Amino acid sequence: MRILRHYGRLPPDAQGAVAVLGNFDGVHRGHQEVIARGRAIADRLRAPLAVVTFEPHPLTFLAPDRPPFRLTTLRSKAHRLERLGVDLVFALPFNRAFSEFLAEDFVIDVLVEGLHVRHVVIGYDFCFGYQRGGGPAVLGWMGEMEGFGLTVVAPVQDGSDVFSSSLIREHLAVGKPQAAAELLGGWWELEGRVRRGDARGRILGYPTANLALGNYLVPQLGIYAVRAGLAAPDGTVTWHDGVASLGRRPTFGAGEVLLEVHLFDFAGDLYGRYLRVAFVDFIRPEATFASAEALTAAIAADCIAARRILAAPENQTERRFPEARRHEPVNRFGV
């Protein structure tokens, strides 16, 4: 899978795709259905499948004071999109000029003259262009004029709930990663480069890999059972069971929100490496302890709880993360 940050002067093998349009934050089961429809059409037309998305997320640009809300960064999104059989990702820079594109200009400049799309697939609620002036109707009549097809995918839901990024955020905000996973079709992940901390975990006998949240959504603070994925140079990922603390470390004086991950039965240097952290279940809220000894005892209990949760058959990694067999692992992101 290739990631491109532009839509002009594309090589021939990046043109003529079936293009699926959207932000796809979280790449949840509703998004997956839209992409699957695109994959089926691309196979029928013998064309590549492309996802056209925007970086940063338009709301990040249009509402810069809004608290972090993103479920997936581009890197995390790419992992999920590749597993769904996407061939190309156009991560188009969303800036002031792009935000002022009229819907009709976006269709002509980007989809027709840039990507030379053969077919477009969107969800029922997708809007685009200046002041959200474009949607299915605009794409429909412009497709007839410019020679590309259009498929609009109806709402996808489980029972009475339509799969949505907003509902996933609500579940994570109250410490319900299992409920979020049901909508995502996989564990929710945070990803980042391991940085040096104050080594308190090592002193207490539980060394941790420390990650800053950056522009990710901040879920319920507390202790989680997790799986941590380490990528090899060839892009394959090895998953390790662990326990994580997400919080401000109130026992030692509140600071910035930090994710501290302790990997079970692991020895090695993680500084500077990218780590994918999959949140499997919530164990308890963050707490303040009267002493280092009390904190150490709580960590020991958390480790026991995390091992029990992760050993449950329904929480096995491979059941939540089926890897695509027909695509090579991602090892270059071009970002």
For residue 332, pLDDT beyond 80: no
SS3 content of the chain, % helix, strand, coil (to 5): 35, 25, 40
CA distances to 14, 25, 37, 158, 186 from 56, rounded to whole Å, are 22, 11, 25, 29, 23
Q: What are the start and end residues of each CATH 3.40.50.620 domain in the chain?
A: 2-158
Residue type, 23: N
194 close to 211: Cβ distance less than 8 angstroms? yes
pLDDT at 318: 54
For residue 308, pLDDT beyond 60: yes
Between CA 261 and CA 304 the distance in angstroms is 15
For residue 319, pLDDT beyond 50: no
Strand 237-247 and strand 258-263: pairing?
antiparallel
pLDDT at 87: 98
Report which of residues 72 and 324 the model is more confident about: 72
- Of 82-96, 108-122, 220-234, 316-330, least confident by mean pLDDT is 316-330
Phi and psi dihedrals of 321, rounded to 5?
A: -125, 70
CB-based burial label for 55 (10 Å; 0-12, 13-18, 19+): buried
Which residues have a catalytic role annotated?
A: 260
CB atoms within 10 A of CB 13: 11
For residue 203, pLDDT beyond 70: no
Q: What are the start and end residues of each CATH 2.40.30.30 domain in the chain?
A: 178-320
- Mean per-residue pLDDT for 278-303? 92
Order of strands across the sheet that contains 274-285: 188-193, 274-285, 222-231, 237-247, 258-263, 209-212
Length of the chain: 335
Q: CATH for 178-320?
A: 2.40.30.30
Percent of the chain with pLDDT over 70: 90
> Tokens 């500084």 identify what position?
271
Per CATH, the homologous superfamily of domain 2-158 is HUPs (3.40.50.620)
Between CA 8 and CA 259 the distance in angstroms is 39
